[in-house]
Structure 1
Amino acid sequence: MVEVHSPTPLYHRIYAVLRERIVKGYYPADRAIPSEAELSESFSVSRITIRRAMEMLTAERLVTRTRGRGTFVTDRTKDNEFNRAVVSNVNGLFSYLNDVGKSTRLKVISLDRGEAPPRICAQMGVEQATELVRAVRVRLLDKRPYSLSIAYLLPEIGGMLKRQDLANTNMIDLVQEAGASVEQVEQVMTATLADDYAAKHLEIPIGAPLMLVNRLFFNAELKPFYAAEIFYCADRYEYRVSLKREDGKDFSLGN
């Protein structure tokens, strides 16, 4: 999974992936991150390589290492006044998802039920360690991986999913067929790097650039019931938005 002839040292590529996980909240601040031995096995590299990557994270003050307790993410929570949602219409999103479904083919990786990651529990507004249904799929475009999607659903909705349906139908159609009403969707797009899992299923090197789209779906009571993380190959994905001025809605910036 790792490019043998990459000019970037292996430990630096591991550091970059771990840094992305920390920045994106993959590791919660109140829990120890995996040990050197666990990370070594996960990335299929030596513990020396992992140790050098961890030393870089420590020097950057992204993690704190405590003897006898483990390594913890440094709490860097800050509110950013610019991270505000732009309100739009879900019909445009549904139309886009429908077009993507017509142009691609789905490959189901897994459909299971288990303890959801802390970051997903926080988004869904459920207690940590809550069991959710998880569906992992890869979209193929021209017979090559185009995106990796990981969906987390409340059991009352996700429990009705069938593997054969996941191979042929968009998730948004499946959840509505299961009785869910989509009243609101929140979407966040960020740049990230491929970890070992994404690299394997997208057939790209660890540390390759990706576009991560997070979508959170709310029901008629405005309660989240479905969270999706979609990883797109950066060299094959483009998200384009057309913005138009509304009549009578002129706006000028203040000094």
Structure 2
Amino acid sequence: MAETSSPTPLYHRIYAVMRERIVNGYYPADVPVPTEAELAETFSASRITIRRAMEMLTAEGLVTRTRGRGTFVTDRARENALNRAVVSNVSGLLNYLNAVGQSTRLRVISLDRGEAPPRICALMGVAPTTELVRAVRVRDLDGKPYSLSMAYLRPEVGGAFSHEDLTTTNMIDLVQRAGAEVEQVEQALTATLADEYASQHLQIPVGAPLMRVNRLFYDAALVPFYAAEILYCADRYEYRVTLRREAGKDFTLDGAQPG
């Protein structure tokens, strides 16, 4: 793991791997995490590098380090309030977004009007010169950046939003208060890397892995009125979906008849 081609520092990559192991139950709660010397051998890194990664885990409250006893996973590491199941319908998504809002704090970076990137205009079916309301916000979880979101809204929906509104209220609540009815949502999840802008606001190195979530919200007439692009720190984000079979609905394989 000690190759130097990655733009992400080695200590941060080790932190990301260790965090993934911890939140997924790799280490038992009653057994010490491997020592710095053992981890240094595992990751082919110096103990100073390992110590820096472990300090990040300690600061996040995922492990507790006690002289003479070792390092142990904390109970909090197994209770991530944002790792909740989401039923694959609009109500389930809105419930999930509400849970995220209750577990995090918002910081507004900007609120203005102007042209959106071409990809957003294409999604919303508007001309590149169309003026949209643009809002950029950072969500903090446990005092650290968790996500960076860029919202683009039609002026008739987001035109009255204030800086204070965006600081205290989830966007989905704001658009519904503005009279928009969410009839359909399209969502796409992709992996990406942090550029300079994301690096600055998420406090991560340029080139660090991110999860990008794009959501497009449609009104009752199936006209897109709100596009959201959210960047999540890949080592702090997990999205779960529960898929339920509809009552009385069977499926066939290769033309075979059910039953």
In the superposition, the TM-score normalised over structure 2's length comes to: 0.64
**What CA distance in whole angstroms lies between the structure 1 residues aligned with 2:152 and 2:138?**
15
Q: In the alignment, which residue of structure 1 is the partner of 2:10? A: none
* Distance apart, 1:220 and its partner CA: 1.3
Letter in 2 for 1:120: I
Tell me if structure 1 keeps the 8 A contact 2:134–2:153: yes
Instruction: Note the alpha carbon deviations across 1:98-118, whole angstroms, 9 max, x for none.
Output: 111110000100001111111
Find the counterpart in structure 1 of residue 108 from structure 2.
108
> Is 1:8 aligned with 2:10?
no
Separation of aligned partners in 2, 1:196 and 1:111: 20
Distance (whole Å) between structure 1 residues aligned to residue 115 and residue 245 of structure 2: 45
**1:179 to partner: Cα distance:** 1.6
Structure 1 residue 251 displacement after superposition: 2.2
Whichever residue aligns with residue 141 of structure 1, its letter is L
- Which runs of 5 or more residues in structure 1 are unaligned? 11-86
Does structure 2 retain, via aligned residues, the 8 Å contact 1:152–1:227? yes
Is the contact made by 1:118 and 1:129 (CA closer than 8 Å) also made in structure 2? Answer: no
Q: How far off is 1:8 after superposition?
A: 2.0
The answer to whether the Cα contact below 8 Å between 1:117 and 1:129 also exists between their aligned partners in 2 is no
| CA displacement 1:183-241 (0-9 Å, x = unmatched) | 11111111111111111100011111111110001111110110000000000000111
Give the secondary-structure state (helix, strand or coil) at the position aligned to 1:215.
Answer: strand
Quick check: 1:170 aligned with 2:167? no
Q: Report the residue type matching 2:152 in the other structure.
A: Y
Partner of 1:231: 231
What is the DSSP-based 3-state SS (H/G/I as helix, E as strand, rest coil) of the residue aligned with 1:238? Answer: coil
Q: SS of 1:98's equivalent?
A: helix
Per-residue deviation at 1:6? 8.3
**1:1-255 equivalent positions in 2, closer than 5 A:** 7-8=4-5, 88-254=88-254
The whole-number CA distance in structure 2 between the counterparts of 1:246 and 1:225 is: 29
AA aligned to 1:235 is: D
- Number of residue-to-residue matches in the alignment: 175
Tell me the amino acid that sits aligned with residue 167 of structure 2. A
User: In structure 1, how many angstroms separate the alpha carbons of the residues matched to 2:201 and 2:238?
Assistant: 20
Find the residue that maps to 2:238 and give its secondary structure.
coil
After superposition, the CA RMSD in angstroms is 1.9
Aligned equivalents of 2:130 and 2:102: distance in 1?
A: 34
Q: Distance in 2 between matches of 1:155 and 1:213?
A: 23
Paired with 1:210 and 1:9, the residues of 2 have a C-alpha distance of 14
Aligned-partner Cα distance in 1 for 2:126–2:243: 35
Match of 2:25 in 1: none
- Name the counterpart of 2:42: none
CA deviation after TM superposition for structure 1 residue 131, in Å: 1.3
C-alpha deviation, 1:139, in angstroms = 0.3
For residues 209 and 104 of structure 1, the distance between their equivalents in structure 2, rounded to whole angstroms, comes to 21
What amino acid is aligned across from residue 163 of structure 1 in structure 2?
Answer: H
Contact 2:147 2:231 in 1 (8 A): yes
> Is the contact between residue 88 and residue 243 of structure 2 (CA under 8 Å) also seen in structure 1?
no
Amino acid aligned to 2:243? L
**Distance change in 2, residues 1:247/1:183 (3 Å):** closer
SS in 1 for 2:235: coil
The residue identity in structure 2 corresponding to 1:224 is: P
Aligned residue for 2:107, secondary structure, equals: strand
Kindly provide the CA deviation profile for residues 43-86 of structure 1, in whole angstroms up to 9, marking residues without a partner as x. Answer: xxxxxxxxxxxxxxxxxxxxxxxxxxxxxxxxxxxxxxxxxxxx
- SS of the aligned residue for 1:167 comes to helix
Name the CA distance, whole Å, in 2 between partners of 1:131 and 1:96: 30
Identity percentage of aligned residues:
71
Equivalent-residue separation in structure 2 for 1:160 and 1:200 (angstroms): 28
